[in-house]
Chains A and B, each alone.
Chain A
Amino acid sequence: MMKVIETTTIKTPYLKLNRRQQTIISIILSASFLLMIILGGIFSSNEKIQTYLEMRNLSPSLQHIFGTDWLGRDMFVRTLKGLTLSLGVGMLASASSVIIAVVLGMAAATMGRKVDTFISWLVDLFLSVPHLVALILIAFALGGGIRGVVLGVTLTHWPSLTRVIRAEVMQLRSSEFVEISRQFGKSSWWIATRHILPHLVPQFFVGLVLLFPHAVLHEAAITFLGFGLSPHQPAIGIILSESMRYLSTGMWWLAFFPGLSLLVMVRAFDILGENLCTLMDPYRGHE
């Protein structure tokens, strides 16, 4: 993802159109924000999230801008680490989801009627149980942990995108250049890899952008409910479910800031994705 951002931002100097510049500025801002979260999460020392009993339950101040918890851990660093973890899990899960969607979408559109019927039935099947219930089931079966979460989120998020990609491939298949290629005697494998897959690259990124917020929010939700990441990991879901025990003592900052940061991060990714799509879409790119 990062690479794409860089290549698109290089174009800035010769683009004078206002709307486009706005788009690019939004991209740069949100991308650097996300980058800051990642770098902050990776490079912030573990020192601050060790137990300091003399600094327990401090409300937000300049030293601890998100306050400290009941063990004296700095909430800002915990949140940062949690966000990085969420980002990683979300990326992994949504990327695998998109790969499943691309493979199944292509298979549905090219491998004949029977496969098509089966895949659309499969899509219906996975859409028929509420995501959260399916997630609980999968996490339960795999005994929780990061594997259960990634697999659960992956398995629940591909269906809607599969439909989109299937429709896209259907359209490509009947286009003239594919028809000509077929007349030249190219094999279907050649057509699939040389003509159809390259056209799906933008779809791939759009799908990633659309799925990512859902994936992150579901990861946080399932962890919050107690099925996801283990309590030793600094996940946002864990932080929030722990905070519930201390809310009645008036420690509002334990829940407020971590949740808000998650919201801001997801929104930043949303803005980044939306603007990237605008930039990559040839019909809207010149706006």
Chain B
Amino acid sequence: MHSSNLLIFAMKKSLRLATLLIAISFLSFTLISYSPIDPVQAYVGADMMRVGPEQRDKIAEYWGLDKSPLQQFTHWGTAVISGDLGTSMIFRRPVIDVIKEKFLASLALMMIAWILSGILGFTLGVIAGMKEGTWVDRAIKWYCLTLASTPTFWLGLLLLIIFAMGLGWFPIGLGVPAGVLAEHVTMGDRIQHLVLPALTLSILGVANVALHTRQKLIEVLSSEYVLFARARGEKGFVLFWRHGFRNIALPAVTLQFSAFSELFGGAVLAEQVFSYPGLGQTTVQAGLRGDVPLLLGIVIFSALFVFTGNLIADLIYQIVDPRIREGESSL
């Protein structure tokens, strides 16, 4: 790709990101300002009876709640632009720190699930595509369609019942063993706690990639160059490797990258079921306990996360696919 092209691409993308982020911040802020949950009450919690009206006003003033929504927004907005997302009410720490710490825990979970579901889904899709119309194909298709209508959290509960409760292979929840000091937690403990949530996420991620790959492979196999290859006597794995693989690998990879949004949503549910202390569980906490700064921070962060995924997908197409690279018109 030419460097000038790359520059235009980057500029267009960052402009898009900027408008999206501004709009998202504004919309979420407006939404939250209509919330019936009283932020002061959410902050004080159960001790509300012991807080007098003067103290109430003090707390409201401390958090800037006595100002108009527009003033609050400009105040918050300018702070966000300078990189300060405010202080979380639950954790009493800067929102950025909380997100960073929780996201790292989630990242391990999401990465494993993402890679596993990608590989498994691709393989299933290839098998189904190569055996189109046979019972293997039908079974895989049926399996994927059923997966697509499975509630994530129920699958998590099911795994919990079977593997943690019934067989006792894995711990029931949390990210680390309960009652153990942080420095005594071994890598093995962490991995053991990670297995079930990661499995939940990856089982569900399979369906999309598999069905897509199957469709693409069937398209490729009905093309003329494959017909010619078959006429030359190629078949089975060799045929797939020479003509199918390269054509379907790219769409599958980009599809995986643009599925970041679902991955994030799935992580929220899986983490909630397994009480895994990641960003997803924190989102739920922030929402249930009315931690507005944290919730807004997570909304913006998740938008960035999804945008990154889509950007990588676009970039891969631009750089890897020779047809788009030469065409240049798609930018």
B161 at the interface (CB under 8 A from A): yes
Query: 1/0 per residue B20-64: CB within 8 Å of A?
Result: 100110011001101111000000000000000000000000000
Within 8 A of B (CB), among A227-260: 227, 236, 240, 243-244, 247-248, 250, 252, 255-256, 259-260
Q: Which 4 A-B pairs have the closest CB atoms?
A: A259-B154, A132-B265, A266-B149, A141-B31
Contacts of A131 in B (CB 8 A): 261-262, 265
A35 at the interface (CB under 8 A from B): no
B288 at the interface (CB under 8 A from A): yes
Q: Determine the distance from Cα of A195 to Cα of B19 in the docked complex, in whole angstroms.
A: 36
Within 8 A of B (CB), among A110-147: 121, 124-125, 127-134, 136-143
B146 at the interface (CB under 8 A from A): yes
Residues of chain A touching chain B, judged by Cβ–Cβ distance below 8 Å, are 121, 124-125, 127-134, 136-143, 213, 217, 220-221, 224-227, 236, 240, 243-244, 247-248, 250, 252, 255-256, 259-260, 262-263, 266-267, 270
**A227 lies within 8 A of B287 (CB):** yes
Interface residues on B, range: 35 or more
Q: Majority SS of interface residues in chain B?
A: helix
**B31 lies within 8 A of A137 (CB):** yes
Residues of chain B touching chain A, judged by Cβ–Cβ distance below 8 Å, are 16, 19-20, 23-24, 27-28, 31-32, 34-37, 145-146, 148-154, 157-158, 160-161, 165-166, 172, 261-262, 264-265, 268-269, 272-273, 283-284, 287-288, 290, 295, 298-299, 302-303, 306-307
Q: Determine the distance from Cα of A267 to Cα of B222 in the docked complex, in whole angstroms.
A: 30
Q: Determine the distance from Cα of A127 to Cα of B160 in the docked complex, in whole angstroms.
A: 31
Contacts of B36 in A (CB 8 A): 142-143
Contacts of B288 in A (CB 8 A): 226-227
**A262 lies within 8 A of B303 (CB):** no
**A125 lies within 8 A of B20 (CB):** yes
Task: Knowing A128-B307, A267-B149, say if A240 contacts B157 (CB, 8 Å).
Answer: yes
Task: Knowing A127-B261, A221-B153, A259-B151, say if A141 contacts B32 (CB, 8 Å).
Answer: yes
Contacts of A213 in B (CB 8 A): 148-149
Task: Knowing A247-B161, A248-B165, say if A133 contacts B283 (CB, 8 Å).
Answer: yes
